[in-house]
Amino acid sequence: MSLFSTLLAFIGAIWLSRWVLNTSTLVYTYLRSLSLERYHYQSTNGTPPWAVITGASDGIGKGYAHELARQNFNLILHGRNESKLNDVAASIKTTYPNIKIRLVLSDACKYGCGSLHEMKHIVDTIQVLHVTILTNNVGTGTRPTGNVFSDFEHDNPSDIDAIINTNGGE
């Protein structure tokens, strides 16, 4: 075999090895068994784990709440609609009666310098618990008109501010 053929075979072997490694990593990433067990541990003083779910009153957040309850996590449910939050909590308690649930009623659009007292209350509620999971699900893209797809140049600045505060913070 000539030197050129040997060199090409060596480069091909390196390329093939790299391709196999990348493909194996990709397959492992998407096919591995995902488990929340690593987050389900008691604190050093024996406090059970809690999960915080923002935007838990409906949709995906509600689904997360039910799944985390199924996984035996105590729940802190956040939302701005008290009746929807109570409905979610009641349905979880019906299915999983041993799960402890706390509700945090707050509108994420209204955060800013003026809401420090409300933020302190939320922090005080949560910090005494052993929180091991945060599912930050709250978000919005709609305007008060209900229109999602419109130019910002026609929007009220306070509506734009509310969208930014909800989705990205200050």
Pairing state of beta strands 49-54 and 74-79? Answer: parallel
Spatial distance between the Cα atoms of 69 and 51, rounded to a whole number of angstroms? 9
Average pLDDT across the chain, whole number: 83
Structural domain that includes position 130: 37-138
Confidence category of residue 40, pLDDT binned at 50, 70, 90: confident
In a domain, 163, yes or no: no
> Given the structure tokens 């659009």, which residue do they identify?
109
- If asked whether residues 25 and 108 sit together in one domain, one would say no
pLDDT of residue 145: 61
Q: 71-118: per-residue pLDDT in tens? A: 999 999 998 889 999 999 999 999 999 999 999 888 766 655 556 677
Instruction: Please name the residue ranges forming H helices in the chain.
Output: 3-31, 59-70, 82-95, 116-127, 157-167
CATH of the domain at 46: 3.40.50.720
Spatial distance between the Cα atoms of 106 and 56, rounded to a whole number of angstroms? 11
- If asked whether residues 106 and 44 sit together in one domain, one would say yes
In a domain, 26, yes or no: yes
Rounded to the nearest 10 degrees, the angle between the axes of helix 82-95 and helix 59-70 is 30
Q: 141-165: per-residue pLDDT in tens? A: 666 666 666 666 767 777 766 666 6
The dihedral region occupied by 169, where left means phi > 0, alpha psi between -120 and 50, and beta the remainder, is left
In a domain, 42, yes or no: yes
Query: Global pTM?
Result: 0.67
